[in-house]
Amino acid sequence: MATIAPPPVIPARILPGWMSEDDAVSLLQDHCFPAWSAEEALKVWTEHSERVQKLPNSPNGCISAELDRPEQAYAESFIRYLESHSGDRHEVERIIKVNIGSLVASQYIAITERSATYAGMQVNEATWWSELLPIAPPAPQVGMRVTFGPPDNPNPLDTRIIFDLPDAEFAFLPYGNGLFGIAQLSRHVTVLQYDSDLVLKNGYHRLLARMRQGGDHSQATALVAVEKTSPQATTNAQQFLPTDGRRRARLSDFVAPGLFLDVSLKRRRYQMEVQAHWRAVNDI
């Protein structure tokens, strides 16, 4: 009998105590290799959930500090970069320096390998600024395969495009005049003000790399962009935060013994499929 090769895996770190029971059990059973049994997965979730329930709420919220002159100069350059691309339509209100561990985490999975890669690339403060708030981001490497008509499409004028993406931060967006294209979403690390907290929207792997690069996790700081407050942004933050009395997860919990769990996830790659179907419709 032929031996089935195990799937490629990638190391990750999760916060099961903040996940729902269904999400945690599904992750451990369906997305890890080797798969956890239902009993093992439920036991892990129960133990971590009980620990989280006993954690006291932090009364201080997120901790920020004044920018020094070089940091302020870079922050002003970053805002000018945003304005040069989108005028006043960009969503950044201001740049702050924040204690990384105090940020609220609404994403409970981090790819350890990706954080390690970021940590290895940065050698000083200036390179961290350009990684967290990029002013001249490099062009992403995107592959593309296109088929016209049969046999992949039912109509001779139909089109199917598959984009091979380096990560999930891409969308297929309009450029005007009937033109569309693949676009990388904004890469700057963004937080949203919510109550006295700052909720991290994107940049998890970079900030975890920054926090873990130094010896004292509790003192690690970083420059981040604060998103303009809006009803929609607040609603988006609310739907990812605990509502059952548990305290909100923080990035420091990714390095707190007893609160995180290291796992091996089945490795994924990202694609975007776009299909165009030609048709004639009645003019009414």
Residue 17 lies in a domain: no
Residue 43 lies in a domain: no
Choose among 192, 190, 194: nearest CA to 204: 190
Domain hosting 178: range is 143-184
Residue 99 lies in a domain: no
- Gyration radius from the chain CA atoms: 22
Residue 157 lies in a domain: yes
Name beta bridge partners: 105.
Answer: 200
Specify the pLDDT at position 26: 97
113, 265 Cβ separation under 8 angstroms: no
Residue 115 lies in a domain: no
Tally of domains within the chain? 1
Residue 203 lies in a domain: no
Three-state DSSP at 201 gives strand
Specify the pLDDT at position 1: 58
Q: Is the dihedral of CA 272, 140, 13, 108 positive or negative?
A: negative
pTM of the model: 0.86
Residue 169 lies in a domain: yes
Single-letter residue type at 141:
Q
pLDDT of the chain, 284 residues: tens digit per residue: 557 788 999 999 999 999 999 999 999 999 999 999 999 999 999 999 999 999 987 666 777 788 999 999 999 999 999 988 776 667 898 999 999 999 999 999 999 988 888 888 776 888 899 999 999 877 889 999 999 888 888 888 899 999 999 888 899 988 888 888 888 888 899 999 888 889 999 999 999 999 887 666 678 899 999 998 877 777 777 777 887 878 899 999 999 999 999 999 999 999 999 998 888 899 87
Residue 163 lies in a domain: yes
Choose among 96, 34, 112, 108: nearest CA to 61: 96
**Angle at CA 259, nearest 5°, toward 253 and 263?**
100
